[in-house]
Amino acid sequence: MNFANFFEQLIQGWLPEEPKMLKSRLRRILPPVAVLVAATTIFSLFSSPFFVSSQTAVLVPPPMIIPAAPNSSYVKLAGVADTNSSFILVSADGNYIGSETLTMAFSITEKGGDKCTAWLAVECDGFSNEVTVDGSIVDGNLVIDSRKSLFLINPDVTQRHIVLTETDDWELPAIVSSKTRKPSTAIDPYRVTAVWISSDTIRTVKGWPLMLHAGYDPDTGILVYSGYSLSDVLLEKLGIDLLLGGSLELVSYSENLNLEIASIPLPQYFNLGFVLFIVLVSSLVIVPIVAVYVVRKRRKRTQADAHNILELQDNTGRNCEGW
């Protein structure tokens, strides 16, 4: 036996002990509630910088603006593939190349009158080529070898139903949207204002499926977005019958285009700690109110039961006296 236990037994009974009173519900609840409030507040304070940094981290510069040569317009589009898919380049000999990446650059230079020079470059995994050809601009459309190109159209189209391009064997009918849209660029979260044109699915003379959703600059008519598949006279000059898969979206453009680039609102991240704190504070107000309501209701019920018992006893007593 140690000294502490011996001393405790020695003085036991000499000093009056304080009666151990049962703690009230409030005193039992306060310590865990205080710990919960402190923990939630600390979590809220430390989680705030994380969510702020998450929002600022997604801020990126818009598509690049580059200097332009006189009377020349330029756009560069990058492939944005769908989930678990890749781009397919179908060559003129029927072979195809699968690629995870794809870039396409196009420029047109006016030479006076209706004459112009068009340049196109395509690069992907296992393929890289470019071509420069002479063409003309007829009614706002780029025409090469008497065939309308999809890379430049007249943006002031008044008809809802048009033919985007055609050959001796097939044509690509399309519908012009009544309002301009904002298709995505290759740089999130930016979008570009464009005249929106979409076509049905057709089959080319070689049997390739061709369906196009395209966006064009409302001022110049230059292509700024292409979705699904693309077949064009300029691509055929590169030995490409069809580009299939994903979309081609704006990466950079020449300064003279003055494209309207807009940033879509970023997703608003909420502070989980702050929400928990608000819920907790609200609970501290709501729970006592509910508790008081329940207690009062129980008291009223108890009083009513007691009153009924008294009445029953009184009636029973009276009946006994009558006997």
Token look-up 């006279």 returns 233
The pLDDT value recorded for residue 204 is 74
Whether residue 184 sits in one domain with residue 143: yes
**pLDDT per residue over 10-41, tens digit each?**
545 554 555 555 555 545 555 555 555 566 56
Structure confidence at residue 292 as a pLDDT band (50, 70, 90): low
pLDDT exceeds cutoff 50 at 50: no
Inside any domain, residue 12: no
Show the tokens assigned to 165.
């391009």
Range of the domain at 53: 25-57
Residue 11 lies in a domain: no
Mean pLDDT, the chain, integer: 78
pLDDT band, very low/low/confident/very high, at 55 (cuts 50, 70, 90): very low
**Same structural domain for residues 89 and 33?**
no
- Give the residue from 221, 247, 263 where a domain finishes: 263
Per-residue pLDDT at 97 = 92
Position with higher pLDDT, 280 vs 265: 265
pLDDT at residue 54 greater than cutoff 90: no
Instruction: Say yes or no: 221 and 77 in one domain.
Output: yes
Residue 126 resides in a domain: yes
Q: What is the mean pLDDT of residues 63-71?
A: 89
Q: Could you say which of 57, 72, 99 is where a domain stops?
A: 57
Choose the most confident range, by mean pLDDT, from 39-53, 221-235, 304-318. Answer: 221-235
Do residues 184 and 226 share a domain? yes
Domain count across the chain: 2
Same domain, yes or no, for 170 and 185? yes
Residues 42 and 137 in one domain: no
Residue 226 near residue 184 (C-beta atoms within 8 A): no
* Greater model confidence, 11 or 229: 229
Q: Are residues 90 and 112 in the same domain?
A: yes
Residue 290 lies in a domain: no
Q: Stretch 87-94: mean pLDDT, rounded?
A: 90
pLDDT at 315: 57
Long-range contacts, stretch 128-134, CB < 8 angstroms, 24+ apart: 129/238, 129/239, 130/238, 131/234, 131/237, 131/238, 133/234, 133/237
CA dist 316 and 39 (Å) reads 60
Which of 263, 282, 305 corresponds to the end of one domain?
263
State whether 113 and 162 are in the same domain: yes
Are 51 and 118 part of one and the same domain?
no
Q: Decide if 244 contacts 90 (C-beta within 8 A).
A: yes
Q: Is residue 300 part of a domain?
A: no
**Which of 75-89, 147-161, 292-306 has maximum average pLDDT?**
147-161
pLDDT one-digit tens code per residue, 173-204? 999 998 999 999 999 899 999 999 999 888 87
| Phi-psi category of residue 74: left, alpha or beta, with phi > 0 → left and psi -120 to 50 → alpha | beta
Same domain, 44 and 139: no
CA-to-CA distance for 137 and 142, rounded, in angstroms? Answer: 5
183 and 202 together in one domain: yes
Whether residue 136 sits in one domain with residue 39: no
Is 34 part of a structural domain of the chain? yes
211 — pLDDT class (breaks 50, 70, 90): confident
The confidence score (pLDDT) of residue 82 equals 77
